[in-house]
Amino acid sequence: MADFASCLSLGMEPAGFVQGFAVMQWSWYSGYYRTAGGFGGMGGWTVPRGQGQYAEEWRCPHGFVGAEHRTYGFNAEQAWLEKSWAEGWGLAYRRMVEEAAEAGAHGVIGIVDDMHYLTGGQTAEFRISGTAVRGARRRAAPHPVHDAPVRATTDQAAGGGVCPGVGGRHPELGADDRLLHHPLPVGRHRGSVPATGCRAGSPGSTPSPRSTRHSGAARHLAREHIRQQIGTDSLHGATFEQFEHEVGEGDMAIQCLVKGTRVRQFKDFDPLPDADPVVRLT
Amino acid sequence: MTEMQQAMAALQGTGTTPHRGRGTTSDLSIDEILLLHSMGWEPVDLVFGVSWWSIPWGVWQWQTGEIAEASTAFAGAMDEASGLLREECARTGGSGVVGVEIGIRVSSHHIDLTLSGTAVRRVGDTKPSFEFISDLSARDFVLLTRAGWWPLGLAAGASFVVAPRRSARQWAAQKGQNVELPNLTEALYLAREKAMERMQQSGLGMQAEGVVDVKLREGPLGYNARVMQFVAVGTAVHLRDGAHRSVQPSMVVSLDDRVRQFDVKKLRSGGN
């Protein structure tokens, strides 16, 4: 209710509950490295290196023992999988936006998105939903998300928490920026760190530079992918989700997903008064 | 032109936008960003520090008491991750990091630690010097500084203790009884003493006068019930202005509480 009331007080009204879906299939690692040299093949491991793609490899500290032994570890970004993921999410997103446009909306708020596997790890469903809103006191202005009569009305604000922060208390950032822009799923990284192979041998606790760099690289790449998308805009309220799983032969894949709200500043900050500290009596 | 129209025009690329260089990224809410601006600070970038340390094979199985290798690995990982976070904050032009989220994972042969937060700086400060790392939210950071205190860094301590097995005689005597298991209680206390002491030492090393917002993680490790872990992490703080300044909060009553529901069927059955 608070979201609904805040929307109205801002001059916006709900235009419909909109959704977008996409089901994608991909094969995680099939043939990717094997065709390129293969684990344990005569040529040793072949590290995938695309243009601008992150890849690092480590040489065996024992010197030359064998072709396979020589390159005993590498981290590599799975750009092809990032692309597939972005495609799936993008399809669902575009379908939701189209639905909002049909409803004559100016924007979509309270967006909730999700991805889950349907069968094993091969098929993934992307779904995105939110509440389409439109300016209640004027005709829709040209914008990608609008230009049709209202089809349905709903008071659902999925995700919540967006409108109350906008309700006139802090107009300096520009309420429309937050209402009309959308969460961006931006970065995704897959890397491979063979945990097996020879070690230099150390009796005590030691740093693991390969794992450290692998895990750090996933986050950094995700953030940089975001940067490429937002340009001079900002991304706030970002959340990180990092998943790791073993993919066989001691390899580990790390997947990092960053999402947030893209915000565009349309005017300078007005001077803000000190906030009053309050104690909530509930 | 109203602000709403200005915003719409900016989104469509037909309006004017303040000159900005690189966009900022943050995990702060809009309210937190405005709060920071109200005290002259702004977010700069998301920053991370990640560290993995290996633990030798077998240390959990063949000894009792504190597992020094694991405690050392935690301390090493914390130092390394904090150092990386600090480097990245300085590189992005921040002078501190707020809202640091701490991810700790302890497995049988490694400990990995992830720190992520938002680098912040004073508005317009083009050459800031590094000042602090804090796991306080932006709200708490503002409150802390208004009270005259300043964050210094993350103070952390951890200990991992393997409890000794009970003897066969003890096991047989206690079987079927409700009794305390002193081996596990003592292991937990030992871990707690060591971890808290290390966290305090860490704070003292930063010339802190206290550690606030301490988060504890304690209890058995998932894969071995005899291993007791105790991890304490908080923000070391320093009284900057000589004396604490009292903050006088206003009392508010929320009007959007969840309405209490009752079960009609219970009324019909006499409340049973």
The residue in chain A having the minimum alpha-carbon distance to the alpha carbon of residue B53 is A207
From chain A, the residues in CB contact with B39 under 8 A are 274
CB pair distance less than 8 Å for B25 and A223: yes
Chain A positions touching B55 (Cβ under 8 A) are 205
Mean pLDDT of B12-21: 70
The shortest C-alpha distance from B25 to chain A (Å) reads 5
Contact of B225 with chain A, judged by CB distance below 8 Å, is answered with no
Residue B177 has a CB neighbour count (10 Å cut-off) of: 6
State which H helix or E strand residue B13 sits in.
none
Per-residue pLDDT of chain A (282 residues; tens, 9 = 90+): 677 777 777 778 888 899 999 998 876 554 344 334 444 444 445 566 666 677 777 666 666 666 555 555 677 777 777 788 888 888 999 999 999 999 998 888 888 888 888 876 678 899 999 999 887 655 444 333 322 222 222 222 222 222 222 222 222 222 222 222 223 333 333 333 333 333 434 457 888 877 788 788 888 888 888 888 888 888 888 888 887 777 666 667 788 888 888 888 888 887 778 888 888 887
Mean pLDDT of the region B197-220: 94
pLDDT at residue B124 above 90? Answer: no
Structure-block tokens of residue B29: 């809410």
pLDDT band at B268 (very low <50, low <70, confident <90, very high): low
Q: Determine the Cα–Cα distance for residues B134 and B152; give it in Å rounded to an integer.
A: 7
Q: State ipTM.
A: 0.79
Which of A11, A178, A237 lies nearest to residue B4, judging by beta carbons?
A: A11
Contacts of B53 in chain A (CB under 8 A): 205-208
At residue B159, does pLDDT exceed 90?
Answer: yes
Distance from CA of A161 to the nearest CA of B (A): 10
* Contact predicate A125/A21, CB 8 Å: yes
Residue B95's pLDDT is: 94
DSSP one-letter string for A117-177: EEETTTEEEEEEEEEEEEETTSPPPS-SS--S---------TT--SSGGGSSS-GGG-HHH
CA distance B269 to chain A (A): 31
Residue closest to A157 by CA, chosen among A219, A210, A111: A111
Q: Give me the helices (H) in chain A, please.
A: 2-9, 67-70, 79-102, 175-180, 209-230
B169 Ramachandran zone, left/alpha/beta (phi>0; psi -120 to 50): alpha
| Phi-psi category of residue A263: left, alpha or beta, with phi > 0 → left and psi -120 to 50 → alpha | beta
Residue A106's CB is within 10 A of a number of other CB atoms, namely 26
Q: Dihedral sign for Cα B51, B115, B156, A253, please.
A: negative
Is B52 in contact with A205 (Cβ distance < 8 A)? no
- CB-based contact B126:B85 (threshold 8 Å): no
- Single out the residue of A165, A156, A137, A105 nearest to residue B4, CA to CA: A137
Establish if B35 touches chain A: CB-CB under 8 angstroms. Answer: yes
Which neighbouring-strand residues pair with A279? B251
From CA A235, how far away is CA A237, in angstroms rounded?
7
**Interface mutation target, options B6, B20, B30, chain A, most CBs of A under 10 Å:** B30
Q: What is the pLDDT of residue B272?
A: 52
SS3 content of chain B, % helix, strand, coil (to 5): 35, 30, 35
**Residue to substitute from B41, B54, B85, B246, interface A, most A β-carbons within 10 A:** B54
DSSP bridge partners of A259 = A185, A239
* The predicted structure's pLDDT at residue B256: 72
